[in-house]
Amino acid sequence: MASSPRKAYTLSYYQIISFGIALLLVIFLFWIARISPWELFQLLQQGGPLLFLAITGIMLFQLLIQAISWMELLGTLDSPPSLFTAMKAILAGWSGNYLTPSMYLGGEPLRAYMLSKETKTPFSILLGSVLVHKFIELLSFLLYLLFSFFLVGFFYALKIYASFYLLFILSFSLLLLVFIAIFASIIKKKAIFSRLAEFCIRQGLFSLYFQNHLEDIQKMEQEIFNAFHQNRKATLLSLLWMLLFHFLIFIRPFLFMSFYHTFLSLEELALLFLALQFLQAFQFTPGGLGILEGGIIGLFAFMKLAPSLAIGYALLCRVGDIIIVALGIFSLFQSKGIHEEIQNKLKPFLGDNSMKQTPLNAVHKALGAKMVEFAGYEMPIQYTSIQEEHHRVRNKVGLFDLCHMGRIYVSGPGSVDFLQYLVTNNIAKMKEGQAHYALALNERGTILDDLIVYHLGDQYLVVCNGANREKIRNWFRQHSPSFEVKVEDRSDEMGMIAIQGVFSEEVVAAMVNEEIRDLKYYSCGKWDWEGETIVVARTGYTGEDGFELYMSNNLLEKAWNQALQVGENWGIGPVGLGARDTLRLEAAMPLYGHEITEETNPLEAGLGFAVKFKKGDFIGREALLKVKQEGLKRKLVCMEVEGRRIARQGAKILQGEEQVGEVSSGTFSPTLQKSIAMGYVPKEGAEVGNQFEVEIGKKRYPIRVVERPFYSRKKKKKEGKGEA
């Protein structure tokens, strides 16, 4: 399927106004300094190209130092990038400072985004590393401020500037106390990175755009904590590099003035050093235009230096900035639509009203759920703990909100032919009341999404992944004109809850109808409930017996509350997306974006059972037959990691010194008490018992292929086999 065209980057009103104000400020500074462009040109000409190259060279060296500092932290991750990749990401971030500084946290999330495009490390972890690095930058800044105050106090204490010194000391003492209080709170509660993220986000103009939506960082908190906080060596080295970075800020004006034979006293040098550190903290307008320049002019005037020198230095630095920004923009805008992509990546951290809410949103919050963004919705990741909720489903029964899933209805006389052509399973053989697991493929034979198709008699219900709802809906509508069908997306009109676990049959039978007990696995039916017709299906995504209930939105809250009330005797409780993921991974069920993507085909993913070549033509059939004829190059396997370390998505699977595969999903299994993973390895290495190594951080751990799935329940006889 051809991807929808991306929107070109456009300036927002905020950016246009910011650039306009910055331009007016620069013009105003020229006016009060009473310096003409010709005088400025002569001044810069006097310095010559060597000065320009020296200033720009120092700035490029600062870029390298910043990248090395960041690399000390990134080196503790599972898949650290190269130094060149980190430099490209920092260039993009510097460009972001000029384009949308407040919206993008000073351009810093651009760094995480650029790395996420070139590495397999999740965006949330990369953004966590950026926030940690920003904290280290803040710490080095405060250390330099302390040193600067000492110098200023030492040289000025016995002079007429004593009151000026006292004012600085009082201001700095307050700043230092606030910093110590924040740092003590962080260390005490060990919620280090989510609290650092919140602290960084709330600085200056950031608070206008960012709210306390940091659940995604909190979800990865323990992993980030282990990677950075416990690795004190990497953190210390990163800090030392950032100290050098800030020292180079002082070198630039010192070098500039030496070209014009302007030498400062020790007192003035100390004051310059202090002031430059302060000014560096106020670059919240695009590129610092106006505030930084105004501060430099005021500083130079205080030291009785010519305004022309101040403006000349400021603009010369801006030329160097522009060169660096041009390099960043070249890296940043190679692909169109990056503005929208970054906005989507940042949704978990933005107080963004565009995030959808399910009809049960208020219920989750009342239950104390930790909410995160998932598939464009604000969803519960957990209520109590992921392990507790996981065991509840395995041993008792759990209740899930699945309203984020896509629900597309297909009706009309051409429905069977339409679905036969668009999905891989044999829809023509389906009887009313049956459900089939199927795949939607593109012409290359790779997976657009995995689906469940329900035969409801006069129509079919197709359930897709929430993140792929628009893609599948558009894919269906694109092909519908060739068939006599009607495609309706009812995802916003109706909701979906799941009741999964050992006692799920007891709860649903007591709640809806005793006839539910007769449903076989992968079958469905319609029942009247509370004056409306609902669909109940014996399907699920946990590896346990379970049911999924489809109903209008106005019934959802009543159904949720009644399920909790009826199921109280069987130990029912709400379950979030975190436990849903560990449950499905133990059952070796694929997750779109991990085991299956538009770069994987059903045969290598072990989903050949859902592909019926003999039924006739369907999209992707020819490409898939070619794959079958040529033979698979890799296969998806289940693996166990030695020890308790978790192999996350993207971790390298090694044989000797050669990378032969990579992990698609990994977790620590609450049921098996083992570190488990799924991943792709060469076909010849996919036999059970084969040994490999997996790279986690900078270390390797033994990993071996095991039987699929990791966990399999015992089916009840009356439950039946059904049709997957």
Give every CB contact of residue 665 below 8 A, 6+ residues apart in sequence.
Answer: 581, 585, 591, 594, 595, 649, 677, 678, 679
Q: Is pLDDT at 167 greater than 90 in this prediction?
A: no
Q: How confident is the model at residue 24 (pLDDT cuts 50, 70, 90)?
A: low
The pLDDT value given to residue 98: 59
C-alpha angle 529/530/534, rounded to 5°? 35
Instruction: Give the residue among 292, 545, 262, 178 at the shortest CA–CA distance from 396.
Output: 545
Q: Where is pLDDT greater, at 89 or 96?
A: 89
Decide the pairing of beta strands 691-696 and 652-655.
antiparallel
pLDDT for the residue 37: 53
In the structure encoding, which two tokens stand for residue 426, read together? Answer: 């044999």
Angle (CA) 292-298-300 rounded to 5° is 100
**Residue-wise pLDDT tens digits, 624-647:** 999 999 999 999 999 999 988 899
Give the pLDDT of residue 229: 52
Give the separation between CA 284 and CA 265, rounded to whole angstroms.
31
Identify the three-state secondary structure at position 453. strand
Least confident span in 37-46, 218-227, 586-595 = 218-227
Confidence of residue 74 (pLDDT cuts 50, 70, 90): confident
Instruction: Assess whether pLDDT exceeds 90 at residue 305.
Output: no
* 724 or 314: which leads in pLDDT: 314
pLDDT(173) > 70? no
Please tell me the distance from the alpha carbon of residue 408 to that of residue 716, in angstroms, as a whole number. Answer: 31
Residue 200 has pLDDT above 50, yes or no: no
Q: What pLDDT sits at residue 356? A: 86
Statement: residue 395 has pLDDT above 70: yes
Q: Quick one: pLDDT at residue 153? A: 60
Mean pLDDT of 80-84: 77
Please give the Cα distance from 66 to 85 (Å, whole number). Answer: 13
Instruction: Find the mean pLDDT for residues 575-595.
Output: 96
Instruction: Tell me the mean pLDDT in the region 214-234.
Output: 52
Burial of residue 685 (CB within 10 Å: 0-12, 13-18, 19+) is middle
- Per-residue confidence (pLDDT) for residue 279, from 0 to 100: 55
Q: Say whether 559 sits in a helix, a strand or coil.
A: helix
Residue 245: per-residue pLDDT: 81
Per-residue confidence (pLDDT) for residue 211, from 0 to 100? 37
In the numeric block, the tokens 């996420």 are attached to: 116
Q: Which of 185-199, 401-415, 656-670 has the lowest mean pLDDT?
A: 185-199
* Distance (Å, whole) CA 123 – CA 89: 13
Res 321 pLDDT > 50: yes
pLDDT of residue 465: 95
> What share of the chain has pLDDT > 70, as a percent?
60
Among 42-51, 114-123, 239-248, 611-620, which stretch is predicted with the lowest mean pLDDT? 42-51
DSSP 8-state secondary structure symbol assigned to residue 80: -
521 contacts 536 by C-beta, under 8 angstroms: no
- The better pLDDT of the pair 386, 64 is held by 386
Higher pLDDT among residues 358 and 179, named by residue = 358
Predicted TM-score of the model (pTM):
0.58
Predicted confidence at residue 296, as pLDDT, reads: 58
Closest alpha carbon to 221 in 344, 111, 121, 132: 132
pLDDT band at residue 261 under the 50/70/90 scheme: low
Q: Burial level of 47, CB count in 10 A (0-12/13-18/19+)?
A: middle
Which of 107-111, 455-459, 693-697 shows the lowest per-residue confidence on average (mean pLDDT)? Answer: 107-111
150 pLDDT exceeds 70?
no
Rounded mean pLDDT of 677-682?
97
Residues 23-36: what's their mean pLDDT?
52
Q: List the single range of 81-95, 109-123, 345-359, 608-622 with lowest mean pLDDT.
A: 345-359
For residues 277 and 143, the answer to whether their CB atoms sit within 8 Å is: no
Residue 240, pLDDT above cutoff 70: yes
Higher pLDDT, 290 or 498: 498
In the predicted model, what is the mean pLDDT of residues 470-475? 93
- Which pLDDT does position 514 carry in this prediction? 95
Query: How many percent of the chain have pLDDT more than 90?
Result: 46
Task: State residue 82's pLDDT score.
Answer: 78
Indicate whether 85 pLDDT > 90.
Answer: no
Looking at 43-47, 58-62, 344-348, 467-471, which range is the least confident one? 344-348
Query: What value does the mean pLDDT of the chain take?
Result: 77
pLDDT digits (tens, 9 = 90+) for 106-144: 466 667 777 776 676 666 667 767 777 777 777 777 776
Out of 107-116, 395-404, 552-561, 612-621, pick the least confident: 107-116
Query: What pLDDT, in 10s, does the model give residues 536-572?
Result: 999 999 999 999 999 999 999 999 999 999 999 999 9
Q: What is the number of other CB atoms lying within 10 angstroms of the CB of residue 307?
A: 16
531 versus 30: the higher-pLDDT residue is 531
CA of residue 512 relative to chain centroid, distance: 39
The confidence score (pLDDT) of residue 8 equals 34
**pLDDT tier at 283, thresholds 50, 70, 90:** very low
Residue scoring higher pLDDT (212 or 33)? 33
pLDDT at 78 over 90: no
How many other C-beta atoms lie within 10 A of the C-beta of residue 633? 11
pLDDT value of position 263? 60
Instruction: Check whether 423 has a pLDDT greater than 90.
Output: yes
251-270 average pLDDT score:
63
The residue-averaged pLDDT of 340-351 equals 49
What is the Cα–Cα distance from 167 to 431, expressed in whole angstroms?
A: 83
Domains annotated on the chain, with CATH = 49-187+231-344 (no CATH), 189-230 (no CATH), 356-503+520-555+569-587 (3.30.1360.120), 633-706 (2.40.30.110)
Kindly report the three-state secondary structure assignment for every residue of 517-553.
HHCCCCEEEEEEECCEEEEEECCCCCCCCEEEEEEEH
In single-letter form, the type of residue at position 28 comes to: F
Q: CA of 435: how far to CAs of 157, 455, 538, in Å?
A: 83, 6, 9
pLDDT value, residue 25: 54
Helices (H), 337-424: 338-346, 361-366, 386-395, 415-422
* Averaged pLDDT for residues 363-388: 92
pLDDT at residue 316 in the model: 62
Statement: residue 232 has pLDDT above 70: no
Structure tokens at 529: 């409930």
